Amino acid sequence: MSVFPYLVAAWIFLVGCYGLATSRNLLHAVGCLAVCQSSTYVLLLAVGFRDGGTAPVFSDLTPGSRPVVDPVVQALALTDVVVGATLTALLLALVIQVSKRHGTVDPDELSELRG
Amino acid sequence: MNQLLPLIVAAPLLGAALLVATGRRLRRIVAEAVGCAVAAATAGLAVYLLVSSSSRPLVEWVGGWTPRDGHSVGIVLVGDQVALGLASVISLLVVAVLAYSWRYFDEPPQQQTGTFPALVLLFQAGMCGFVLTGDLFNAFVFFELMSVVAYALTGYRVEEAKAVQGALTFGVVNSLGAYVTLTGLVLLYARTGELGMREIGRALDARGGPDALVLVAFAFVLTGLLVKAAAVPFHFWLPDAHAVAPTPVCMLLSGVMVELGVYGAGRVYWTVFAGPGGVAPSDAERALVTLGTASALVGAVMCWQQRHIKRLLAYSTVAHTGLFLVGLGLLAPDSTTGIALYVLAHAGVKAALFACAGILLDRYGSVDAHELHGRARRLPLVAGLFTAGGLALAGLPPFGTALGKALTEEAAGTPLTVLFVGVSALTGGAVLRVAAGVFGGWGPRPSGDDTYETGGERENPETSGTRGRVPDTMVAVPAVLLACALAVGVVPAVATHVGHAVDEALPGTASVVPEWTTTGVLLGLLSALLAAAVGTYAALHPPGATARDRTAPLRRLHSGHIGDYVAWLLVGMALLDALTFPGYLAS
Amino acid sequence: MSRRLRMWVLALGTAGVAVLLVVAYLELPGFGGDSHPYGDRAVSAALAHRTANVISSVNFDQRGFDTLGEESILFAAVLGTVVLLRQTRDERQVEPAPAPVAAFVRRYAVHALPVTLLVGLYVVAHGQLSPGGGFQGGVVVATALHLLYIAVDYRALERVRPLWLFTLGDAVGEASYALLGIAGLLWGTAFLADFVPLGTFNTLSSGGTVPLLNAAIGIEVACAVVVLLARFLDQAVEIEKAR
C-alpha cells in the first residue's frame, strides 16, 4: 500500500489533462490546469512524509523528541501554491479578454489562429 | 567577485519595483530611460563578471550557505562562461528591445507609464536567474517567472482578438509543461534527497545504473524545457504566441527565450544525467536528435506556407530551434560549440527580422505578405536589412549563423548536413520571398486560399499614429543587431571564446578550432544560394492551390485549439520516453 | 483536428503517460520512509539559526533566493493583470450601484473585519514561530478589507482602498526583499545572508532576517492581492462596453 498516495497524484494529473484536452469552456480549462498542478502538491507532500512524523515546527516541540516530516517539500509546496495561484489569476484575466474579443469561451469556436 | 552573481537577478527586480512605485508620477520618457539604464547596468555587470571569470567559473551559495561535509541546504548559482555569456546576451538584447520600443506603444495603461519597461525588466531577471542557477527547483521558479511575464507581454495588446487567444494558449501549454518538469524534479528529489543539479547527478551516480524512475524523471524534466524550446510535438503554442505578441516582445521571445529551453535541456543533461547513474548518451542522443529533426522539418515546411510575416518568422524559430536541438543532442563539444555560436548569431538575426516586421506594421498596419505586396517600395533601408536578415538566416558567410552552422555540420556528418542546409535554405528562402514581394513588388500578387491559414491584415498598428518617417531607433536597432550577428562570424575572438566556454562547461574538449573552413564556407554559400533561388522563384511564380493542398494535413494539425495542443503534449511525453527506453531495456 | 482525432491522440498520450507514471512511482521510496537527508539538514540549519518554524527557515533563510523569484512571480502577475484588465478604448467606467445588504450580513462582516485583520497581522508576525508567514498572513489581511464589499458596497471598499497606495506597497514589499538581500551582501557574507543578530529561540525577534523578510513578503502579498482583486472587481462592477 506504500505507493497508493503516489498513484493518487498520478490519477489527479491524468484527470486534469483529460479535462484540459476535452474542455468546452476556457474557464473550465484553467480550472483543469489547476487540477494538474494539484497533482504536484500531492506528490511533494507524499514524498516528504515520514511515518509518525509531525509538523517541523519547534515552538511547542522539543527538537529530537519526535520524528518530523520533511520541511523542504513543504516549503516547495508553498512556493508551488503561490506560483499556481498567481498564474491562475493571470490566465483568468486572459479568459475575460478572450470572452470580450471573441464573444465566446468555447475553444472549439476560436478559429483566428490556425495553419 | 562571486558574491555579485545574485545582483544580476536582483538589479532588474529593483528597477521594476522602482518603476511601479513611481509609475504614477513619472513622465513616460523618464520611465523608459530608467528601464534602459537599469537593463544596461545589469548588462554591464554581467559582462564584467564574464570577463573577470575567464580563468575559473564563479560559484556562489546564496545566503552564505556554503557546503559543509559536501552538503548544503542553500541554493547555488554557477556563473560559468556559458551562463554568464548568456546572461550578457539576454541583457544586451533587452537593452536593444527597450531602445527599439522607445515611445513605441501608443497608450500605456492609465497611471502606469512604467508598466512595459517594468515587465521587460522582470523578464530579464527571470531569464538571467534561469541561466545562472545551479539548483533544479530554483530553475523552475525562475522559469515560471519568465513564463508569467511572457504571457502578460504576449497579451499586452488586449484589444486584439488574436493576441489574447495566443497569450492564453501560450500560458496554458507552457504552464502544463512546467508542472510536468516539476513532477520530474520531485521524482529526482525523492530518489536522491537533493535539489542542486550537481548534487543530484552525484547521488544518482553513487547509486549505480539508472532504473525506470530515472528515465521517466529525465523525460519529465525535459518536457517543460522542450515545450519552451518548441520542439515537435510541443511546438504548437509558439506560432500562435509569437505571431500576436507586440513586436519588441517577439524579439525577446524568439531571440533568446525559446533558446533558453535548449540551454536548459543541455544543462540538465550534462549536470544531472550525463553520469553512469543517469541516461546513456546513446539514448539521450536518440531522443534529442529525433525531436530536433522533426522540429526542423515541420518548422521549415510550415514557415514556407505562411503569409503572416510574424507567424512565418515564428515557424522559422521552430525550425532553427530544431537544428539547435540536433546539434546539442549529438552531445559532443564540437557540435555544441557550433550550436552556441549559431544561437548567438541567430538571436541577433531573428530579433532584427522581427524589428523589420514591426516597422511594416507601424507603416502599413499589416503584416500580411499578400496585402503588403509591392507596398513597401519606399523603404529601401528596411528592405536591405530584411534581405540581409533573410540571407543570414539561410547561412550566408560571413554571418555568425553560417559559422555556427558550418561547425555543427562538420561534427554531425552527411545526412544531418543535408538537413541543416535544406532547413536553413527553406526558412531563409521564405523570408527572401517575402522581401521580394513586399519591398520589391516582384511577380504577381499572390492569393491565398483563405480556408485554413492565418492572415495578418487589418491589424491595429502598435505605435502611436503614423509619423512622417520611421523613427531612427526602429531602424538603428535592427542594423546594430545584424552587425552583431556579422561580428560573431567575422571576429575570430568571439568564436575562440565560445569554444573555450563550451570546453569548460562540458566534460570533453573540442577536437577542432572553431574557425572558418573551405567546406563550411561552400556549404554556407550553397544554402544561401538555394534560399535566394527558391525565394525568387516563389516570388515570381506563386504556388497554386494544388501545391498547397499537399501540406494541408500538416497545416490542419496547427488548429489553434488548446485541447489539441494538450493531447499532443501528452503524446510528446510518452514519445520522449519511448525514445530513451530501448537502451535501458536492452541493458 | 476533428474531435474524433483529438480523442484518439489524447487516448494514445494518456495511455503512454499513465504507464510512465505508474512505472516511475512504483520505484519511489515507500510512503512514510525514513530517508530525508535534505530535510534533516534543513531542520538542523533552522535550529542553528534559532528559527522554530523550519518551513519559514527554508523559505526565507536557506532557500531565500527561491522566495525572491516567487514574490517576483506574484509581482509580475499583478502587473500583468493591471495591463490585461485595463479599460480599453471601447469601454467606459460606470458608477457602481449601491446594493441592499441584509442586516445580519452587515453585522457579521463589520465584526469579522477587525478580527480577520488582526489574525492576518498575527500570522505574518509569527511566521518564524508557528505555521504561517508573509504569504498566508498577507492573503488574510487582503481578504479582511474585502469584507467591506460584502458589508456595505463597492464604493465603501474603494474608499478604504486607494489603489495607488497599494500599488506602492506592492512595489515597496518587492524592493524591500531584494534590498534586505543586498544588505546581507554589504554587512554579512553573501546576498540574502542572515546578517542581523539571531535573537532568542522561540521569541518574536528570533531567526535573524527571517521576520524581516517575512514582513516584506507580508506587505507585498497583502497589497498585491488587493490590487489583483481590484482589477477583477472593476471588470465585474465598474467597466462596461461603451454604447
Tally of domains within chain A: 1
How many CA atoms does the CB half-sphere of B396 hold within 13 Å? 19
Contacts of C206 (CB under 8 A, 6+ apart): C50, C51, C52, C128, C129, C198, C199, C200
User: What CA–CA distance (Å, rounded) separates A45 from A34?
Assistant: 17
Q: For residue C103, give how far its alpha carbon lies from the nearest alpha carbon of chain A (Å).
A: 32
Backbone angles phi, psi at B178, to 5 degrees: -65, -35
Q: Sort B239 into a burial class: Cβ within 10 Å, 0-12 / 13-18 / 19+.
A: buried
Q: Could you tell me which residue, C236 or C16, shows the higher pLDDT?
A: C16
Tens digits of residue pLDDT in B114-143: 889 999 999 999 999 999 999 999 999 999
CA-nearest residue to C22 within chain A is: A7
**Facing B20 at nearest CB: one of C38, C79, C194:** C79
The CA-atom distances, in angstroms, between B71 and each of B356, C37, C151 are 51, 10, 54
pLDDT at A84: 94
Structure confidence by residue, pLDDT tens digits, B493-534: 999 999 999 998 888 888 888 889 999 999 999 999 999 999
Confidence label for A43 from pLDDT (cuts 50, 70 and 90): very high
C27 interface with A at CB cutoff 8 Å: no
Angle at B572 between CA B566 and CA B576, to 5 degrees: 155
- Report CB contact under 8 Å: C63, B138: yes
d(CA C55, CA C130): 9
Q: Which residues 109-148 of C are in CB contact (within 8 Å) with B?
A: none
| Chain C nearest-CA residue for A80 | C70
Task: Count other C-beta atoms under 10 Å from residue B386's C-beta.
Answer: 28
Establish if A90 belongs to a structural domain. yes
Note whether C12 contacts B574, CB cutoff 8 Å.
Answer: yes
Domain boundaries, chain B: 1-134, 146-273+560-587, 284-550
pTM, 2 dp? 0.96
C-alpha cell at C5: 482525432
Which has the closest alpha carbon to B583: B157, B193, B279, B247?
B279
What is the crossing angle of helices B212-228 and C3-26, to 10°?
140
Name the band, by pLDDT with cuts 50, 70 and 90, for residue B452: low
What mean pLDDT value characterizes chain C?
Answer: 91
DSSP letter for B369, please: T
Q: Is A97 on the interface with C (CB under 8 A)?
A: yes
Q: Is B78 helix (H, G, I), strand (E, B) or coil?
A: strand
Q: pLDDT by residue (tens digit) across C45-103?
A: 999 999 999 999 999 999 999 999 999 999 999 999 999 998 887 888 888 877 788 89
Spatial separation of the C-alpha atoms in residues A27 and B582, rounded to whole Å: 40
Please confirm whether the linkage preceding B108 is cis (ω < 30° from 0).
no
Window 68-97 of C, Cβ < 8 Å to A: 70, 73-74, 76-78, 80-81, 84-85
Using a CB-CB cut-off of 8 Å, the residues of chain A touching B175 are 33, 37, 87, 91
Distance of CA B490 to the CA centre of its chain: 23
Residue A84 lies in a domain: yes
Confidence label for B458 from pLDDT (cuts 50, 70 and 90): low
Is the CB of residue C181 less than 8 Å away from at least one CB of chain B?
yes
**Residue B162 with chain A: CB contacts under 8 Å:** 112-113
Check residue B463 and give its pLDDT.
66
Does the beta carbon of A68 lie under 8 angstroms from any beta carbon of chain C? yes
Contact indicator for B315, B228 with CB cutoff of 8 Å: no
Q: What is the mean pLDDT of residues C181-191?
A: 93
- C-alpha cell recorded at residue B313: 518568422
To the nearest whole Å, the CA of C182 is away from the closest chain A CA by 22
* Cell numbers describing residue C11: 487516448
The confidence score (pLDDT) of residue B153 equals: 95
The predicted structure's pLDDT at residue B464:
59
Any idea which residue has 503517460 for its cell? Answer: C17
H/E run at residue B542: none
Cβ(C207)–Cβ(C49) under 8 Å? yes
Partner C contacted by A54 (CB < 8 A): no
Query: Over B127-158, what HEC string results?
Result: HHHHHHECEHHHHHHHHHHHHHHHHHHHCCCC
On average, the pLDDT of chain B sits at 91
User: Is A83 in the C-facing interface, judged by CB distances under 8 Å?
Assistant: yes
The share of chain B scoring above pLDDT 70, in percent, equals: 95
Query: What digits encode the pLDDT tens for the residues B330-360?
Result: 999 999 999 999 999 999 999 999 999 999 9
> Looking at chain C from residue 51 to 80, which residues have their Cβ under 8 Å from any Cβ of chain B?
58, 61-66, 68-70, 72-73, 75-77, 79-80
Determine the structural domain holding residue A33 and report its residue range: 4-53+63-113
Q: Write the single-letter amino acid at B553.
A: P
Contact A37 B137 (CB under 8 A): no
pLDDT value at residue C3: 87
Q: What is the 3-state secondary structure (H, E, C) of B423-457?
A: HHHHHHHHHHHHHHHHHHCCCCCCCCCCCCCCCCC
Q: Does C230 touch chain A (CB under 8 A)?
A: no
How far apart, in whole angstroms, are the C-alpha atoms of residue A80 and residue A86? Answer: 10
Radius of gyration, CA atoms only, chain C: 23
Amino acid code (one letter) for B552:
A
Q: What is the pLDDT of residue B466?
A: 54
> pLDDT at residue B459 above 80?
no
* Main-chain dihedrals φ then ψ at residue B58, nearest 5 degrees: -85, 130
Report if residue A105 sits inside a domain: yes
* pLDDT score for B581: 87
Please check whether residue C87 touches B, CB under 8 A: yes
Query: Would you list the domain boundaries of chain C?
Result: 36-241
Q: All 3 cell numbers of residue C240? A: 462596461
CA–CA gap between residue C82 and residue B82 (Å, rounded): 36
CB contact under 8 A, C39 and A57: no
Q: Under an 8 A CB cutoff, do C13 and B574 touch?
A: yes
Q: How many CB atoms lie within 10 A of CB B25?
A: 11
Q: Where are the alpha helices (DSSP H) in C52-153?
A: 54-57, 64-84, 103-125, 134-151
Interacting residues of B547 by C-beta distance below 8 A, sequence separation 6+? none
* Cβ within 8 Å of residue B102, ≥6 positions away: B32, B36, B471, B473
Identify whether A58 is part of a domain.
no
For residue C93, what pLDDT is reported? Answer: 83
Q: Which chains are adjacent to chain B, needing at least 3 Cβ pairs under 8 Å? A: A, C
Query: Residue C59: which of A1, A68, A75 has the nearest Cβ?
Result: A75
Confidence of residue A64 (pLDDT cuts 50, 70, 90): confident
H/E stretch holding C167: helix C163-187
What is the structure's pLDDT at C97? 79
For residue B58, the cross-strand partners are: B79
Chain C residue with Cα closest to B60: C190
Q: Do B564 and C1 touch (CB under 8 A)?
A: yes
Evaluate whether residue A95 is within a structural domain.
Answer: yes
Are A112 and B162 a contacting pair, CB within 8 Å?
yes
Residue A8, pLDDT score: 96
- Answer whether A90 sits within 8 Å of B172, measured CB to CB: no
Supply the pLDDT for residue B467.
58
CA-based radius of gyration for chain B? 23
With contacts defined as CB-CB under 8 Å, which chain C residues touch B566?
Answer: 10
Q: How many CB atoms lie within 10 A of CB B49?
A: 22
- Residue tagged 545572508 (cell numbers): C193
Q: Please compute the mean of the pLDDT values over residues B37-47 and round it to a whole number.
A: 97
Contacts of A112 in chain B (CB under 8 A): 161-162, 165, 454, 560
CATH number at residue A69: 1.10.287.3510
Cβ atoms B273, B201 nearer than 8 A: yes
CB contact under 8 A, C90 and B569: no
Q: What is the CA radius of gyration of chain A?
A: 19
- For residues B306 and B301, give the distance between their C-alpha atoms in angstroms, rounded to a whole number: 9
pLDDT of res. B111:
64
Of B514, B559, B299, B478, which is closest to residue B400 (Cα–Cα)?
B514
For an interface test with A, give the residue of B170, B179, B548, B550 to mutate (most A CBs within 10 A): B179
Mean pLDDT of chain A: 93
